[in-house]
Amino acid sequence: MNLETAPFVEGRGPYWPDACTTSDQACPTAYSGEDRVRMQRRWPGIPVVCRCHPHPAGVKAALLHPGTPLANECDRRLADELTRIAPHSRQAVIDSDAFTARVIRHALAEGITQFLDLGSGHITTSAAHAAVAAHPAATIVHVDHDPHVDDHNLAYLTENPILATRPRTLIHGNAFAIGTLLTSLYRTGTLDPSRPVCVLLIDILYYLEAANDARSVIRRLVKRLPPRSWIAVTHLTNRALPTVDSPVCQAALRRDTDRWCQAMARCVPPHPQASSRNEFARRIADLELLPPMITTTSSWPEPDTTLRALAPYTLAAVGRVPEPTTAA
């Protein structure tokens, strides 16, 4: 068993910013935490050209389909490690995709036909792509900062004669640069500012650097989206909802989530960070939450009734952009 196929050992590297193993040059380690904080406030995407470390999109693909060509050997090794730490990892991805599909169906039923998928990943495995593709009148914009994902998505759409004629847009850039992104989409007519939009912040907000307030992302969306737009948000948590009252289960969730996040630090940055339910509530406080308010990806649009929370445990909520208030 050589280095390329040996499983990762928990608690040992390679973690970012270890040097590339197949290149004379180091990975772009010059991009420190402070650099990444600044980059997430600007339009250009964070450089993630390294292929010696796993990428989140590839890891997700490997969790769903271990033999997929969308994942390289590092992606598959990390998917295996995540599964050893948290056997629920694959099901968590499935639950997240099912949540996305349900949100899109409910939004379409409300008459919303414009969708903005932030941190889309590979659209060949995208639940948002599949759900919107089933509705010819709907349009979707996919945004991702990984150039490898962008290249694959472009090739996939170009080679598909049916999808090539459908109104959908691929954007390579920083999904957190809300102001610049929406200004561009409105100016080019890609999104109609007179009609509601459904924004998908699925499994991405917890990649925001801690120095950048996650609430500001949603606040900027609320300020720039048409009233009655929807925003669907998920977030990794290490604190279960009140339905889980067993101290043993709560402690196991915190332990396994922390281990899961540490393993994900093998990926190119940024890296996921779990939040509490109270912090998640603060981040989405600018929305008019739809019932059942805060729940989980496996439960929405019903309340969460989980009795045993398993990592990675993901909170979910869907809210509307409020109507502007008028002074009395």
305: DSSP letter? -
Cα separation, 73 vs 80, in Å, equals 11
256 CB neighbour count, 10 Å cutoff? 21
Contact 133, 103 (CB under 8 A): no
Residue 300, pLDDT score: 98
Domain boundaries of the chain, sorted by first residue? 89-320
> What is the tens place of the pLDDT at every residue in 47-77?
666 777 899 999 999 999 999 999 999 999 9
Contact 185, 214 (CB under 8 A): no
∠ CA 54-296-36 to the nearest 5 degrees? 35
Rg (CA), the chain: 19
Cα separation, 239 vs 269, in Å, equals 24
Residue 48, pLDDT score: 60
Burial of 161 (0-12, 13-18, 19+ CB in 10 A): exposed
Give the amino acid at 213. D
Average pLDDT, the chain: 89
Q: How far apart are the first and last CA of the chain?
A: 73
Residue 160, pLDDT score: 73
Contact 145, 48 (CB under 8 A): yes
Which is more confident, 179 or 43? 179
> What is the tens place of the pLDDT at every residue in 143-168?
998 888 888 888 888 877 665 555 56
CA dist list (Å): 33 to 30, 160, 253, 280 = 9, 39, 27, 23
Indicate the CATH number for domain 89-320.
3.40.50.150
State the pairing for strand pair 168-172/197-201: unpaired
The winner for highest mean pLDDT among 40-49, 51-60, 100-109 is: 100-109
∠ CA 139-141-146 to the nearest 5 degrees? 155
Name, in order, each residue with C-beta under 8 angstroms of 145's C-beta and a sequence gap of 6 or more.
45, 46, 48, 119, 172, 173, 174, 175
Which is more confident, 211 or 107? 107
4 CB neighbour count, 10 Å cutoff? 11
Helix (H, G, I), strand (E, B) or coil at 144: strand
